[in-house]
Amino acid sequence: MLLLRLILISATIFLFIAGFRYPTVYFDVQMFNLLFICINSYLSLKLIKKLIPPTFTTEERKLYNKYFSRYFKPNEYKKLINQARRKVYRVNSTIINQGNGFSSLFFLADVSDDGIRLEMKMNGAALRNLSQFGWIGIMEYIWVISKKSLPEAVANAEYGTWGINLEVNFQIGEESGESIESSDISENENIIEIGDSVSRIARELIIYEWDLEVR
């Protein structure tokens, strides 16, 4: 497609220049040729730009290779990730409170340590731990658009509410469900004390957030 377009542009440029060598210059024909050259040159540049691979950070490339490559082309993924806000959450922080207004989608990009869990709760009861590459807010989004279109919901400030809590915790074990309180975390950011034992962990997870904006 791109090659054919470039051939047609080259041929039209030749006709445009040759047209001035005739005794009679047809203004309407020359204007059509010029317009054809300008429009197709612009469209060709956009096609060429798509062929140039975008530049990713190490983390962005890792996310693309492990998850997003199944759904997006590199340039599409670059546009998506550029619209997101990258946030780092530590142990004992809350990402979402139940009952708050729903206005964003979240993507769990990376968990730095196996002991860290993003706990999903409803009415104080634990539901499950969210795994890496998990989405947060899909159910709320479906609820909003099932009631009315997203532009209408935004215009009327009817985002709906979160039906869940999301909290970052460090768990002693999968089965115990016991979480470490902030008082148990030492001042050294890479050390956490559990009784008589000491574990070295990074104690953080990375989340990308997309605002639901309608323009």
Q: Is 47 in the same domain as 13?
A: yes
Q: Is 162 exposed, middle or buried, given 0-12, 13-18 or 19+ CB atoms closer than 10 A?
A: buried
- Residue 175 has which token pair? 């089965």
- Residue 55 has which token pair? 């530049």
Q: Is 100 in the same domain as 203?
A: yes
Q: Is 22 in the same domain as 94?
A: no
Q: Which residue has better confidence, 116 or 171?
A: 116
Grade residue 177 by pLDDT with cuts at 50, 70 and 90. Answer: very low
Q: Is 121 in the same domain as 188?
A: yes
- Radius of gyration for the alpha carbons in the chain, expressed in angstroms and rounded: 27
Q: What is the mean pLDDT of the chain?
A: 78
Q: Is 111 in the same domain as 131?
A: yes
Range of the domain at 18: 2-51
Based on the structure, what is the number of domains in the chain?
Answer: 3
Q: Is 95 in the same domain as 113?
A: yes
Q: Is 28 in the same domain as 90?
A: no
**Which of these, 166, 168, 177, 178, lies nearest to 205 by C-alpha position?**
168
Q: Is 40 in the same domain as 108?
A: no
Q: pLDDT tens digits for 57-116? A: 999 999 999 999 999 999 899 999 999 999 998 888 889 898 888 888 999 998 776 678
Q: Is 40 in the same domain as 61?
A: no
Lowest model confidence (mean pLDDT) among 75-84, 127-136, 167-176: 167-176
Q: pLDDT tens digits for 2-21? A: 778 888 888 888 888 887 77
Q: Is 67 in the same domain as 114?
A: no
Q: Is 38 in the same domain as 117?
A: no
